[in-house]
Copies of this chain bind each other. A is one copy, B any other.
Amino acid sequence: MPVQTPLPKVSSYAETGLVPRRAKGSDRRMRQQKPRTRIQRQNRETILEAALEVFSQHGFRGATLDMIAAQAGLSKPNLLYYFASKEAIHVSLLSQLMDTWLDPLRALDAQGDPVAELRAYMRRKLELSRDFSRESRLFANEIVQGAPHMQAALATDLKTLVDEKSTVIRGWAAAGRIADVDPHHLIFSIWALTQHYADFDVQIRAVLGEGRDPMAEAERFLDTLFTRLLAP
């Protein structure tokens, strides 16, 4: 049994120890990209919502189909009628998430005011951390453990978008409209600082103690931080 999991291409069974198996029954039907009936769309929705709750709290391995089924109010075999496997639910959740997650960066406008654009990006990311902390933790869990299901997406979609926006930012720096900082690391710093408030929520609350509002304080602090960092 390999202890050092080799980095997989797209989807790894190494993590779960499962051997890929042709699913037979429902699989054929579920392969249809678009769920047909209303009940299908609705149940898939319910399952994904439940799975998000459970996966984000326990990680992939820590979550069980029974937990997800209970949370969704469905029977376990019923889950597997809508998704081919536990892994399929996880992957579905992750790929769906990726889009939402990148939207704020896509919105960064090369024509806008540089400092305002970057601060707005930071604020949008912070809002995501506040309003979609489960999604953030799901993502964090995945990446911390080596992104066994997302490697590909990171190196393609994500990299492409980041590189593109980095060019814009580099342009702004070259024009002297913001300070001369490395665009990639500037973006990393926005990710790190905003996601930290979602992913390390327990720690932050433990340290701050009762009666404080981490997110509200974070917004003020980060606003100051980026204003000072970016000033030309």
Contacts and interface: CB of A to CB of B under 8 A. Distances in A.
A107 to B, nearest CB: 18
B145 A217 contact: no
Interface in A128-186: 137, 140-141, 143-147, 151, 154-155, 158-159, 162-163, 179, 181-182, 184-186
25 contacts: A3-B53, A3-B71, A57-B146, A59-B59, A59-B141, A59-B144, A62-B62, A140-B144, A140-B199, A147-B202, A151-B206, A158-B207, A163-B207, A179-B228, A182-B217, A182-B220, A185-B218, A186-B221, A188-B196, A188-B218, A192-B195, A228-B228, A228-B229, A228-B231, A229-B229
Interface in A74-106: none
Interface string A33-64: 00000000000000000000110011111100
Secondary structure at the A interface, as helix, strand, loop or mixed, is helix
Interface residues of A, number: 64
A83 B126 CA distance: 42
Nearest to A5: B57
B141 A144 contact: yes
Given A58-B15, A59-B62, A196 B200 contact: no
A203 B199 CA distance: 16
Interface of A: 1, 3-5, 15, 53-54, 57-62, 66-67, 70-71, 137, 140-141, 143-147, 151, 154-155, 158-159, 162-163, 179, 181-182, 184-186, 188-189, 191-193, 195-197, 199-200, 202-204, 206-209, 217-218, 220-221, 224-225, 228-229, 231
Contacts of A137: 144-145
B207 A154 contact: yes
